[in-house]
């Protein structure tokens, strides 16, 4: 059997190599982390980019088995932040030189919702002299909707595949037309064709998930040639169907460690993509996101959701920063990022380098 040190010398990684890295014992995982950290610095430098996260609505038409804001969870008070509240959060991001915002919501595809997002995008561009970059994370939409939002100013889109193994996907989603694995793959393809920088990701430590599944998730990211990735530990939520399988879960600490190894391994596989330090890491370890930055992540998403709504956007238990206001969140992040040996890319969009080279290759060949 190969050792971690031997695998780290390779340029290409087979599924077995990745499994071995994900299985690295405490005594050898530091080799993986040193390599991923070094690679990040060589390829991308020390900069970390901020994306101010605005969770503007928790109304959702989906029923994913893991998610606390799933449609059937009647314990949740549903909200829609007003345009003014959303724009205020974006103005805060702009004034504090965040560079970009992420607008995230439950999945709604009504005409009114599509139009509303379109209007918001235009207003965010206007209020920031076109300076704020905008990422959307509003679920699966039609090709036409993706295009309309792109033309209104969004240029990055996050849509996690959640699990790239079709069988596992249907263990964590209902087997219905509204939760089709094929449609999810198709949506990722449409996003790419529209011209977005495309981000996807998975949850780590799900019940029924194996290390082989996770290794294949990494190869899936490479195969569909993503520009960005956001992945974090799965955290159980009492009012969801997946909670009944909690006895199958690894400890939270183990899921956390596995998530760090996934980030490090992805950095080896795709050195020039943007990798976000997921908020779920912080739900397990208060310094979780900063630890992710030291092993390969280069994007962090401070929460700018108006405080009153945060307790209703609980995707999972122990979600952090429920009552910190935006200013506090920013101050504590800044100090911690400096501790983690990084610099903040103020006022920069921090686009995925991978996207830039992907597009220039496309232009050369056309």
Binding site for ligand FES (CB under 6 A): 60, 62, 64, 67, 69-70
The answer to whether residues 352 and 273 touch, using CB atoms and an 8 Å cutoff, is yes
Residue with smaller CB distance to ligand FES, 40 or 70: 70
Applying CB under 6 A, does 179 fall inside the site for ligand 5AD? no
Judged by CB under 6 A, which of 198, 226, 315, 337 binds ligand 5AD?
315
Residue with smaller CB distance to ligand 5AD, 162 or 257: 162
**Which residues inside 75-134 make contact with ligand 5AD, applying CB under 6 A?**
none
Token pair for 135:
């990422």
Residue with smaller CB distance to ligand FES, 146 or 316: 316
The answer to whether residues 23 and 223 touch, using CB atoms and an 8 Å cutoff, is no
Judged by CB under 6 A, which of 33, 196, 313, 316 binds ligand 5AD?
316
Residue 235 binds which one of ligand 5AD, ligand FES, none, with CB within 5 to 8 A depending on kind?
Answer: ligand 5AD
Number of chain residues interacting with ligand 5AD (CB under 6 A): 12
**Least Cβ distance, residue 288 to ligand 5AD (angstroms):** 12
Alpha-carbon dihedral angle through residues 312, 288, 99, 107, given to the nearest 10 degrees = -30
DSSP notation for 229-259: EEEEE----TTSGGGGGGGGPPPHHHHHHHH
SS3 of residue 285 by DSSP:
coil
Residue 275 binds which one of ligand 5AD, ligand FES, none, with CB within 5 to 8 A depending on kind?
Answer: none
- Nearest CA to 208 out of 240, 178, 181, 173 is that of 173
Q: Which residues contact 89 (CB under 8 A, 6 or more apart)?
A: 52, 54, 101, 304, 305, 306, 326
SS3 of residue 116 by DSSP:
helix
Applying CB under 6 A, does 221 fall inside the site for ligand 5AD? no
Residue 237 binds which one of ligand FES, ligand 5AD, none, with CB within 5 to 8 A depending on kind?
Answer: ligand 5AD
Scanning 142-150, 169-177, 187-195, 232-240 for contacts with ligand 5AD by CB under 6 A, the matching segment is 232-240
β-pair partners for 229: 200, 275
The answer to whether residues 52 and 304 touch, using CB atoms and an 8 Å cutoff, is yes
Contact pattern from residue 251 through residue 290 relative to ligand 5AD, giving x for each residue in contact according to CB under 6 A and a dash for the rest: -----------------------------x----------
Scanning 148-156, 165-173, 184-192, 227-235 for contacts with ligand 5AD by CB under 6 A, the matching segment is 227-235
Residue 60 binds which one of ligand FES, ligand 5AD, none, with CB within 5 to 8 A depending on kind?
Answer: ligand FES
- CA angle (279, 22, 8) in 5-degree steps: 110
Applying CB under 6 A, does 66 fall inside the site for ligand 5AD? yes
Applying CB under 6 A, does 203 fall inside the site for ligand 5AD? yes
Neighbour tally for 346: CB within 10 Å: 12
Q: Rounded to whole angstroms, how far apart are CA atoms 106 and 116?
A: 14
The answer to whether residues 80 and 56 touch, using CB atoms and an 8 Å cutoff, is yes
Applying CB under 6 A, does 301 fall inside the site for ligand 5AD? no
In what helix (H) or strand (E) does residue 170 lie, and over which residues does it extend? helix 166-172
Residue with smaller CB distance to ligand FES, 69 or 300: 69
Q: Which residues bind ligand 5AD (CB under 6 A)?
A: 66-67, 160, 162, 203, 232, 234-235, 237, 280, 315-316
């Amino acid at each position: 059997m190969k050792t971690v040190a031997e695998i780290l010398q390779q340029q290409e990684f087979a599924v077995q190599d990745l499994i071995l890295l994900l299985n690295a014992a405490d005594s050898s995982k530091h080799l993986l982390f040193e390599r991923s950290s070094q690679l990040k610095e060589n390829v991308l430098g020390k900069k970390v980019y901020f994306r101010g996260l605005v969770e503007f609505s928790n109304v959702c038409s989906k029923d994913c088995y893991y998610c606390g804001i799933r449609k059937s969870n009647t314990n949740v008070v549903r909200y829609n932040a007003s345009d003014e509240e959303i724009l205020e959060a974006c103005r805060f991001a702009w004034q504090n030189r965040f560079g970009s915002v992420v607008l995230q919501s439950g999945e709604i595809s009504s005409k009114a919702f599509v139009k509303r997002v379109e209007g918001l995008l235009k207003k965010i561009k206007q209020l920031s002299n076109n300076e704020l970059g905008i990422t959307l994370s509003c679920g699966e939409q039609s090709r036409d909707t993706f295009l309309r939002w792109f033309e209104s100013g969004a240029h990055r889109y996050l849509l996690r595949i959640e699990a790239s193994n079709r069988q596992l996907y249907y263990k964590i989603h209902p087997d219905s037309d509204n939760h089709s694995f094929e449609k999810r793959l198709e949506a990722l393809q449409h996003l790419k064709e529209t011209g977005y920088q495309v981000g996807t990701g998975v949850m780590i430590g799900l019940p029924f998930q194996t290390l082989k599944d996770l290794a294949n998730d990494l190869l899936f990211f490479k195969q569909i040639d993503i520009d960005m990735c956001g992945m974090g530990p799965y955290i159980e939520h009492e009012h969801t169907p997946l909670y009944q399988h909690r006895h199958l879960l690894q400890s939270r600490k183990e899921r956390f460690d596995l998530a760090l190894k996934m980030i490090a391994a992805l950095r080896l596989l795709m050195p020039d993509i943007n990798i976000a330090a997921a908020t779920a890491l912080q739900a397990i370890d208060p310094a979780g996101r900063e630890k992710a930055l030291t092993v390969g992540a280069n994007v962090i998403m401070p929460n700018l959701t108006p405080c009153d709504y945060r307790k209703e956007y609980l995707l999972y238990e122990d979600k952090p920063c429920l009552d910190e206001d935006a200013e506090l969140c920013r101050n504590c992040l800044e100090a911690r990022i400096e501790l983690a040996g990084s610099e903040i890319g103020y006022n920069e969009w921090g686009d995925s380098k991978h996207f830039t080279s992907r597009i220039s290759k496309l232009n050369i060949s056309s």
